[in-house]
Amino acid sequence: MIGEVISVGTEIILGSTLNTNTYYITQRLSEIGIDVLFHTSVVDDSNLLKDVINIGLNRADILIFTGGLGPTADDMTKEVVSETLGLELELDEDMECNIKRYFDKMNRTMSSNNTKQAYKPKGSEFLTNEMGTAPGIYIEWNGKILILLPGPPKEMKLMFDKYAIPLIKQDYTIKIKTISTIGIGESKLETILKDIIQGQENPTIATYAKEGRVDIKVVAKGNDETKVDELLNEIIEKIDERIHEHIYSYDDESIEEVVYKKLKANNMKIAFCESCTGGLISSRFTGIPGVSQVFDRGIVTYSNRSKVEELGVKKSTLDKYGAVSEQVAREMATGLLNKTGVDIILSTTGLAGPDGGTEGKPVGLVYIGIATNHGSFVIKLTLSGDRLSIQNKTTLKAFDELRKII
């Protein structure tokens, strides 16, 4: 089956919105055996879009559209697809109620524009949007499949995975495992796993470099589910043997989730004190539902004064070694341990840049401190990249250390 992904929107063409949807959809379709051969983007113009649809119907079996499902006059994907296929638009009263309920819940009035979202082409199915007002649409037409999804990536991804994929999935079983690694670069990983990756047609193995970490995606296919599971487990064991210490999840979890689960299982409480990460560690951690069971507090001690007042760092230590030092990282962590009495403390202090670096203490120099009742230790990092990248890498490394010692 041949696929084409069609992005609708002038903002996509102009690049003011980065088009990440297309790659997400292509990857997910590849995983279920559909060959995506074309991507097309087109501005908001009904005549041009109509031609694009006809071209797509001519060369592909499945067309996935993103964008142009909102309430404004610019949003025309559904209308133009219906017209091109010769399908009438019908009001769906259930959907009208749903949208109305959504607005009631938000204490906002539903405008007549929003009613337009309750119409669907005759014979098509709505795909529920749990995160917004624009529902998706699934159409089977003359042996082709057309799926219309909203543009915002969060809404699109959830709908595509939860509602669209099951509708287009073929008869065989496809299982995907994502192994998440940290502390090893993509090319080194590929060298270590070279014979496993190259020898394999089923499962297939691919690496995806993310900032500061690499995912390994293993995809197994077959008619027999038990056999597929066996294939998958066999490869995962082989991979695990070679890079065990770098793997933090076999289930596509984030590293902070892994830390949260370990803390919870051990009935431990944690607190953070952050300087260079500026609250990013606390913020990532509190993105996890239920984290209040293990998280006591976080203190962003950005000024030297706050390091002294909040954490009991000695002024003499700051004067002698500077805020970015092993000593201050340690005093921050032990200070907060004494103050709170929780089981484990993590501290960060470093230079995220772009300014403030010196020869002895360049931008990218970061110390991570960890303190527990059994003692404390400090890790020194030398990181590259811009400010946000240094903050992000420090955060990943911090959670990685926590994962290892809990």
281 binds a copy of itself (CB under 8 A): yes
Q: To the nearest whole angstrom, how small is the minimum distance from the Cβ of residue 383 to a copy of itself? A: 8
Q: To the nearest whole angstrom, how small is the minimum distance from the Cβ of residue 322 to a copy of itself? A: 14
Window 208-267: residues binding a copy of itself (CB under 8 A): 208-209, 211, 215, 217
Of 242, 237, 226, which is closest to residue 175 (Cα–Cα)?
226
Three-state DSSP at 305 gives: helix
Three-state DSSP at 136 gives: strand
26 binds a copy of itself (CB under 8 A): yes
Q: To the nearest whole angstrom, how small is the minimum distance from the Cβ of residue 40 to a copy of itself? A: 5
Of 209, 214, 217, 211, which is closest to residue 174 (Cα–Cα)?
217
Which of 164, 182, 236, 291 is in the footprint of a copy of itself by CB under 8 A?
291
Instruction: State how far the Cα of 328 lies from the Cα of 239, in Å rounded to an integer.
Output: 39
Alpha helices in 112-254 (DSSP H): 112-115, 153-159, 165-168, 186-192, 194-199, 225-243
Kind plus residue range of the DSSP H or E element containing 320:
helix 315-321
322 binds a copy of itself (CB under 8 A): no
Q: To the nearest whole angstrom, how small is the minimum distance from the Cβ of residue 11 to a copy of itself? A: 5
Query: Parallel, antiparallel, or unpaired: how do β-strands 119-121 and 89-91 relate?
Result: antiparallel
User: In the block, which residue shows the tokens 């200070």?
Assistant: 335
Q: To the nearest whole angstrom, how small is the minimum distance from the Cβ of residue 406 to a copy of itself? A: 18
Instruction: State how far the Cα of 311 lies from the Cα of 297, in Å rounded to an integer.
Output: 13
Q: To the nearest whole angstrom, how small is the minimum distance from the Cβ of residue 332 to a copy of itself? A: 12
66 binds a copy of itself (CB under 8 A): no
Q: Which stretch binds a copy of itself (CB under 8 A): 5-13, 84-92, 237-245, 259-267?
A: 5-13
Window 77-136: residues binding a copy of itself (CB under 8 A): 102, 105-108, 111, 113-114, 131
Cite the beta strand spans of 9-61 per DSSP E: 35-42
Output 2 or 167, the one with its CB closest to a copy of itself.
2
Output 175 or 387, the one with its CB closest to a copy of itself.
387
Window 175-204: residues binding a copy of itself (CB under 8 A): 178, 185-188, 190-191
Taking the CA atoms of 288, 184, 375 and 351 in sequence, report the sign of the dihedral they define.
negative
